Amino acid sequence: MHNRLVTLRAYFPAIAFFGGFLWDALTIGRSVAPADLWILAGYLVGAAGILWWMGYRRHTLAVVASEGGVQNTISRHSTAVHALFRSSWWERAPYLLLQFLFGGLFSALFILYFQSSSHLTAMLWSLGLGALLVANEFIDNKYHRFTLTWSLFGLCAMLLFNFLLPHMVGSISMVWFYGSTLAGAGLTHWLRKKTPGCPGRASPVWIIAAMLAVAYPLDIIPPVPLVKRGIQVGVNFERVDDAYRLTLEKSRWWVFWRELSGEVHIGPGERLYCVSSVFAPAGLSTRLYHRWEHYDDKRGWVTVSRMGFGLFGGRNGGFRGYTYKQDVSAGKWRVYVETENGRTVVIHAFTVVTDALPDPDRVTVRSL
C-alpha cells in the first residue's frame, strides 16, 4: 500500500494540472462572472504576498550572513542559500504555492483569451499563454530568480486587469486597455520597490507592456472581456418570444466534423440573415458591427457593408444581434463581428449558392 502511495504521489502534479484546467474549462470561458475575476484577483494578491516574503527572507539571510562575518560575497552563497531553503518540503512551500497561483491565473486567462480568439494571430497569442501554462509546471525551481518571477507576475497582472477594469467601468474602449496594462506594470514595479532588498529587475515587465501596447491596435490580442458565443447565417429569420429562429442547412453525412453546412442556398430576392451572440459583462454598453465581405476574383475580399447594433451586457445566454442583406450574389462570403474600433470578435465564412434549391432533408430550424 505504501509503495502504491509513493508511486501515485509522482503523478499528483499532473493530476492537479489537468484537473484544475478541466475545472476552469467547465466553469469559465463561456461567460465571465464577476466572482471569477475577483477570485483571480485574490490569486494575484496571494502571489504578491509570497513574492514579498521571498524577498524579505532572502534579504534577511543576506544581512545575517554579512553581520556574522561571512567572508565570501552574498552572490557566491546565493545558490547554497536557495538550496538550503528548498532542502525540505516546508522550505519549498512558498515556491509550490507560487506555482499553484501562477498556474491558476494562466489556466483561466488562457481559457478566456482562447474563447475570444477567432482568427490566426489571436489564436497564436492564446496558444502562447497555453505554452506559459505548461512551462509553469516545470520552472518552480527557477522562482528564486526574481527577474523571471516579476515578469510572470507582471504579465498575469496586466492580462487580468485587461478583464477586470472593463468590468468595473462598463466600457471596452482602448483607453481602458492601455490604462489596465499600465496599472499591471506599475503594480509590479511598485511591489518590487517595496520588497526588501529590491531583488531582481522589473524592466522586462515594461518591455512586455510595450509589446501589448503594440499588439492591441494590430488586432493580435482578442477583444476581451467580450467572449464569442455563436454566429450563424441563414434565411427565414423570425423572433418568437425570446428566441431568434433561423433556417439553416445540415452538413452532408461525410462532413462529420461539423454539424451545419458551410453553404447557404437562397432564392432570387431572398434575404440572408446573420445572427451573432456575444457574452459581455453586466453593465457594459457598447456597439458591435457586422462587416459583410464578398470575395472577388480580381480584387480579393471586398467589404460590401458594415452595419451596427447596440450591445448591453449581462445576459447569460449572450447578447444577440442580427443584420441582413438582400440580392446577395453567389460565391464566397464572410462576416466579421467587430467592435467600434475594429477589433475582431469572431469571423464566420460561408458560400452562397443561388442556382439550386437546398436539400429538404438537410434543412433545419434552429433557435439562437
If one counts the domains in the chain, the total is: 2
Q: Which domain holds residue 251?
A: 227-367
Question: Which triple of cell numbers denotes residue 82?
Answer: 536557495
Tell me what pLDDT residue 330 has: 92
Tell me what pLDDT residue 85 has: 46
pLDDT band at 47 (very low <50, low <70, confident <90, very high): very high
What is the rounded CA–CA span in Å between residue 208 and residue 154?
A: 8
237 domain-assigned: yes
Tell me what pLDDT residue 73 has: 46
Q: Which helix (H) or strand (E) holds 365?
A: strand 363-367
18 domain-assigned: yes
pLDDT of residue 78 exceeding 70, the answer is no
DSSP string, 43-82: HHHHHHHHHHHHHHHHHHHHHHHHHTT--S-HHHHHHHHH
pLDDT of residue 71 exceeding 50, the answer is no
Tell me what pLDDT residue 100 has: 83
- Residues 246, 350 share a domain: yes
Q: Can you tell me the mean pLDDT for 295-324?
A: 82
Q: Which of 183, 215, 247 is the last residue of a domain?
A: 215
Q: Can you tell me the mean pLDDT for 248-272?
A: 87
Tell me what pLDDT residue 361 has: 86
- Residues 69, 190 share a domain: yes
- Residues 26, 98 share a domain: yes
- Residues 250, 180 share a domain: no
172 or 77, greater pLDDT:
172
**Mean of per-residue pLDDT scores for the chain:** 79
What is the rounded CA–CA span in Å between residue 27 and residue 93?
A: 28
171 or 56, greater pLDDT:
56
- pLDDT above 70 covers what percent of the chain? 77
pLDDT band at 222 (very low <50, low <70, confident <90, very high): confident
221 domain-assigned: no
- Give the CATH number of the domain where residue 261 resides: 2.60.40.1930
Counting other chains too, the contacts that 62-65 makes at CB distance below 8 Å and 24 or more residues apart are: 62/197
Q: Can you tell me the mean pLDDT for 34-41?
A: 81
- Residues 67, 31 share a domain: yes
What is the rounded CA–CA span in Å between residue 22 and residue 26?
A: 6
pTM, full prediction: 0.74
Question: Which triple of cell numbers denotes residue 42?
Answer: 485574490
- Residues 298, 332 share a domain: yes
- Residues 125, 100 share a domain: yes
220 domain-assigned: no
Q: Which of 185, 215, 245 is the last residue of a domain?
A: 215
pLDDT of residue 220 exceeding 70, the answer is yes
